[in-house]
Chains A and B, each alone.
Chain A
Amino acid sequence: MAHSLSEECTPLKREYDACFNAWFEGYLEPVVSASSRPEERQKFAQEKAAEYERSCGKIWVQYRECVQKAVKEKGLGSLLEQARTENPLNDAPPSSPESSS
Chain B
Amino acid sequence: MHYFSQLCHYDHPWAHVVIGMWHKYPNPHCSHVVTIDTLDRSVDPETGVIRTERILGCKQKAPLWVVKLFGGSEDAFVREVSFVDPRTQQATITSVNLSLSQFATCYENIRYYPTSGHRTAFQQTAEIQSRMALWRGAADKLEGWLVQRFEQNAQLGKMGFTDVLRSLWESKEGQAAC
Interface residues of A (CB under 8 A from B): 1-5, 9, 13, 16-17, 20-21, 24-25, 27-29, 31-32, 41-42, 44-46, 48-49, 52, 60, 63-64, 67-68, 70-71, 76, 79-80, 82-84, 87, 89-93, 95-96, 98-101
Q: Which single member of A28, A45, A87 contacts B47 (CB below 8 Å)?
A: A45
Residues of A within 8 A of B47 (CB): 45
Q: Verify if B60 is at the interface (C-beta below 8 Å from A).
A: no
Knowing A5-B55, A83-B101 are in contact, say whether A93-B92 is a contact too (CB < 8 A).
yes
Inter-subunit contact A96/B49 (CB<8 Å): no
Most A-side CB within 10 Å, residue of B19, B35, B39: B35
Helix, strand, loop or mixed for chain B's interface?
A: strand
- Give the residue name and chain of the A residue nearest to B112 (CB): A99
Helix, strand, loop or mixed for chain A's interface?
A: helix
Residues of B within 8 A of A31 (CB): 48, 86-87
Inter-subunit contact A2/B123 (CB<8 Å): no
Q: How far is the CA of A19 from the CA of B106 in the complex (A)?
A: 32
Inter-subunit contact B15/A95 (CB<8 Å): no
Residues of B within 8 A of A27 (CB): 50, 86
- Give the residue name and chain of the B residue nearest to A82 (CB): B101
Q: Verify if B111 is at the interface (C-beta below 8 Å from A).
A: yes
- Give the residue name and chain of the B residue nearest to A67 (CB): B37
Inter-subunit contact A99/B86 (CB<8 Å): no
The 0/1 profile, CB within 8 Å of A marked 1, for residues 1-13 of chain B is: 0000001000000
